[in-house]
């Protein structure tokens, strides 16, 4: 997908990208430089809520079991 940069440094985000990533008007975007590559990342309004539920299934149970084992060894 190609967009054009205006004289004022503005560009449009293609509708397909906006729909796929649920981007709305006034949403903040972060521009990250990595060598010769630029990444554009949406900034979550509530970063804690954005990560909620993102861990693999059973990760909490495994973590708690590991902590119980560590405590039993002490």
Q: Which domain holds residue 51?
A: 15-73
∠ CA(19), CA(24), CA(27), 5° rounding? Answer: 130
Quick check: is 53 in a domain? yes
pTM passes above 0.85: no
**Cα torsion 21, 24, 27, 29: sign:** positive
* Tokens (6 digits) for 22: 């649920």
Tokens of residue 18, six digits: 């906006």
* Number of independent structural domains in the chain: 1
pLDDT tens by residue, 18-59: 999 999 999 999 999 999 999 999 988 776 776 677 677 788
Q: Is residue 59 part of a domain?
A: yes
Q: Which of 68, 73, 3 is nearest to 40 (CA)?
A: 3
| Residue 8 in domain | no
Residue 56 lies inside a defined structural domain of this protein: yes
Domain contains 29: yes
Q: Confirm whether 6 is domain-assigned.
A: no
Is residue 32 one of the residues assigned to a domain? yes
Q: Tell me, what's the pLDDT at 50?
A: 65
């Amino acid at each position: 997908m190609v967009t054009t940069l205006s004289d004022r440094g503005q560009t449009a985000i293609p509708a397909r990208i906006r729909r796929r990533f649920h981007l709305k008007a006034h949403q903040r975007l972060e521009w990250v430089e990595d060598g010769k590559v630029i990444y554009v990342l949406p900034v979550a309004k509530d970063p804690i809520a954005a990560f909620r539920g993102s861990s693999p299934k059973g990760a909490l149970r495994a973590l708690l079991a590991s902590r119980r084992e560590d405590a039993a060894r002490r």
